[in-house]
Structure 1
Amino acid sequence: MSNSLFSLAFGVGTQNRDGAWLEVFYAQPLLNPSADLLNAVAPVLQYSEGNQAIAFTPSQARTLADALKGVDATQAALLTRLAESTKPLVATLLATDAAPTSTPEAYLKLHLLSHRLVKPHSLNLSGIFALLPNVAWTNQGAIDLSELPAEQLEARLRGKLLEVFSVDKFPKMTDYVVPAGVRIADSARVRLGAYIGEGTTVMHEGFVNFNAGTAGPGMIEGRVSAGVFVGKGSDLGGGCSTMGTLSGGGNIVISVGEGCLIGANAGIGIPLGDRCTVESGLYVTAGTKVVVLDDQNQRVQVVKARELAGQSDLLFRRNSQTGAVECKTNKTAIELNEALHAHN
């Protein structure tokens, strides 16, 4: 058995009537746990190697708690509480960051992101959609869709209402973790697996998908799709504000640097450097033809937007007369940046 793990977590979750996992809650997931911790839990769980999700009983939870008292007091305390559970328990051990092969493994990786233990697009999430069952998220927890009608009837017969908040593969992040130092106006618009950095505000119309997020501080008023990571806001107080759409997905990573502004109803399909601005209503994709202007507003060349990817201090706008997408140096941003460095 190896003396190291990529990740380890003890969880409590929900299964359907056939024993299939619907979701798992990991209160305190660990990244790169100590060898002492692994050596203490492996005999109890009969773990030898590889990536495994191992169901365990409340009695085993008490045994694990005793084994960890001198190794990790926090995990020992958690296991003491898990020993009181009437819901199914699972220990998920990941020897490597390989593609997940079970629902508990998939949920652990989503937890690692939302607990800020790893950054978006740094985990192997291949095949995760197939491992996340589509369930009804209700005021009584996750319910298998095939079992929902019977549960609704049962609730009515008891004079209760079973309220279905959503039908989705992903739950709300805030039902599993609320990171420190954030404001989220509508929690339904942030999925588990989102990385919400300290100092971030997600406004009512903001949306942050899994495997995406913001380093903070900043304000999200638009959509941040999978694969997008928004950098920290400016030290001058401007922050990084996104009111439009930031689209990633697949193997594409759309990073947004510090102090950027994506205007209302705007969007990007390329990474941005620091202090860039995309005017309201403008969507810049990788293939968008962009007229590059000099400081006298004279045309220099026409390029595809991907050739400007990652550059700082750029202003993207649409010419109101010709409709052409233009890019010029964001002079104000440069001046502010120079002033900041001079002050420091």
Structure 2
Amino acid sequence: MSRSLFSLAFGVGTQNRQENWLEVFYAQPMLAPSAELLDAIAPILGYQGGNQAIGFNKNQATELAHALKAVAPAQASLLVRLAESQNPLVATLLAEDSAPSSTPEAYLKLHLLSHRLVKPHGLNLTGIFALLPNVAWTSQGAVDLAELPERQLEARLKGELLEVFAVDKFPKMTDYVVPSGVRIADSARVRLGAYVGEGTTVMHEGFINFNAGTAGPGMIEGRVSAGVFVGKGSDLGGGCSTMGTLSGGGNIVISVGEGCLIGANAGIGIPLGDRCTVESGLYITAGTKVALLDEGNALVKVVKARELAGQADLLFRRNSQTGAVECKTNKSAVELNEALHAHN
């Protein structure tokens, strides 16, 4: 057995009546835990290697806490608390970053993202949708959809209301982790698995999907889709403000550089470099034909937007008379950048 792990976490979760996992909460997930830690817990859990989710009981939690007291005090303290749990416990050990094969593994990878231990597209999430059960997220936690009617009746008979907030595969991030230094106006619009950087503000209509996020600081007023990672704002208090849609997904990574502005109802399907602006209402896909203009607004040539991917100091706009998508050097951004370099 290898003495190294990619990730490890001790969790408490919810199972349905068939003892299938619905969700798992990991308070302190670890990336690359020490070999000494693994040596201490492997005999107690019966771990023989590979990627495994191993259920354990209260007595084992106490044993694990004792074994880790000198090796990993923070994890030992957590296990002391887990030994008090009335819900099922699980230790998820990932020897390598391969495609998840169980619900606890899938939840661990979502936690690694939201705990800012790994950035978007830094994990193998192949097949994750099939491993996340579609459940009712209620005022009493996750409920299996087949068990929901009976649970609702039970609540009513007690004079209570079982409120259903959502029916989805993904829970909201803030029920599992609230990263430091963020503002989120509507927590239901940020999924577990989002990476929300320090200094990020997500406004009421903002949305961040799993495997997407922001380096921070910045303001999100639109949709950040899976695969999109938004860069930090400038040191002068600017910020990457997104009011439109940033679309990624699959194996595509749509990065947005520092100090960018994506206008209201705008969207991009290509990466942007630093200090780029996309005017309100303009959606740019990789195949969008873009007219490159010189400083005098004369046409230089027409290219596909993908040829401009990742370039800095660009201003994308739509010609109000012809409807053509145009691109100019963002002169104000260039002048600001030059001034910053001169100051430094």
AA aligned to 2:82 is: L
Partner of 2:47: 47
User: Residue in 2 aligned with 1:319?
Assistant: 319
Does structure 1 residue 265 correspond to structure 2 residue 262?
Answer: no
- Per-residue CA distance 1:289-334 (angstroms, 9 max, x = gap): 0000011111000000000000000000000010000001000000
The residue number in structure 1 matching 2:221 is 221
Aligned to 2:101: 101
Please give the per-residue CA displacement for 1:141-194, whole angstroms capped at 9, x wherever unaligned: 000000000000000000000000000000000000000000000000000000
Structure 2 counterpart of 1:309:
309
Q: Distance in 1 between matches of 2:313 and 2:195?
A: 26
> How far off is 1:261 after superposition?
0.1
Q: Once the two structures are superposed, what CA deviation does each residue of 1:25-65 show, in whole Å capped at 9, x if it has no partner? A: 00000000000000000000000110000000010000000
SS at match of 1:143: strand
Q: CA deviation at 1:235?
A: 1.2
1:19 maps to what in 2? 19
Alignment of 1:20-99 (within 5 A): 20-99=20-99
Following superposition of structure 1 onto structure 2, how do residues 105-124 of structure 1 map, counting pairs within 5 Å? 105-124=105-124
Give the Å deviation of 1:222: 0.1
CA deviation digits over 1:226-248, x for unaligned, max 9? 00000011112111100000000
**Counterparts of 1:257 and 1:35, CA distance in 2:** 38
Residue 284 of structure 2 corresponds to which residue in structure 1? Answer: 284
Read off the aligned partner of 1:161 and give its amino acid letter: L
1:343 maps to which residue? 343
The answer for unaligned runs of 5 or more in structure 1 is none
Separation in structure 2 between the aligned mates of residue 91 and residue 200 of structure 1, nearest angstrom: 32
Task: State how far apart, in whole Å, the 1-side matches of 2:279 and 2:238 are.
Answer: 16
Partner AA of 1:147 in structure 2: E
Amino acid at match of 1:263: G
Q: Could you say what secondary structure the match of 1:65 adopts? A: helix
Look up the equivalent residue of 2:83 and give its one-letter code. Answer: A
Cα distance in 2, alignment partners of residues 11 and 262 from structure 1: 39
Q: Secondary structure at the match of 1:121?
A: coil
Cα distance per residue 1:109-133 (max 9 Å; x no partner): 0000000000000100000000000
Q: Which residue does 1:208 correspond to in 2?
A: 208
The residue number in structure 1 matching 2:173 is: 173
**Partner-residue secondary structure (3-state), 2:54:** strand
Aligned residue type for 1:24 = V
Which secondary structure state, in structure 1, belongs to the residue aligned with residue 109 of structure 2? helix
Residue equivalent to 1:128: 128
How far apart, CA to CA, are the structure 2 residues paired with 1:23 and 1:330? 47
The letter for the 2-side match of 1:164 is V
TM-score normalized by the length of structure 2: 1.00
Which runs of 5 or more structure 2 residues have no equivalent in the other structure? none
1:277 and 1:303 map into 2 onto residues whose CA distance is 18
Deviation at 1:89, TM superposition (A): 0.1
The CA distance in 2 between the partners of 1:154 and 1:180, in whole Å, is 38
Distance of 2:312 and 2:298 partners within structure 1: 20
Please tell me the residue identity of whatever aligns with 2:105: E
**Cα RMSD, aligned residues only:** 0.3
Report the secondary structure of 1:22's partner residue: strand
In structure 1, distance between residues paired with 2:2 and 2:233: 41
> Alignment length, in residue pairs?
344
Distance 2:237 2:16 in 1: 49
CA distance in 2, matches of 1:278, 1:14: 44
State the SS of the aligned residue for 1:44: helix
CA–CA distance in 2 between the matches of 1:180 and 1:41? Answer: 30
d(CA) in 1 for partners of 2:237 and 2:177? Answer: 28
Equivalent residue number for residue 142 of structure 2: 142
**What secondary structure sits across from 1:167 in the alignment?**
strand
- The amino acid across from 1:194 in the alignment is A
Paired residue secondary structure (1:321): coil
| Residue identity (%) | 84
Structure 1 residue ranges (4+ consecutive) displaced by more than 6 angstroms after TM superposition = none
Instruction: Say which is worse superposed, 24-33 or 290-299, in terms of deviation.
Output: 290-299
Q: Give the distance between the partners of 2:280 and 2:129, measured in 1 at CA.
A: 33
Is 1:243 the counterpart of 2:265? The answer is: no
SS state of the match for residue 259, structure 1? coil
1:198 and 2:198 correspond: yes
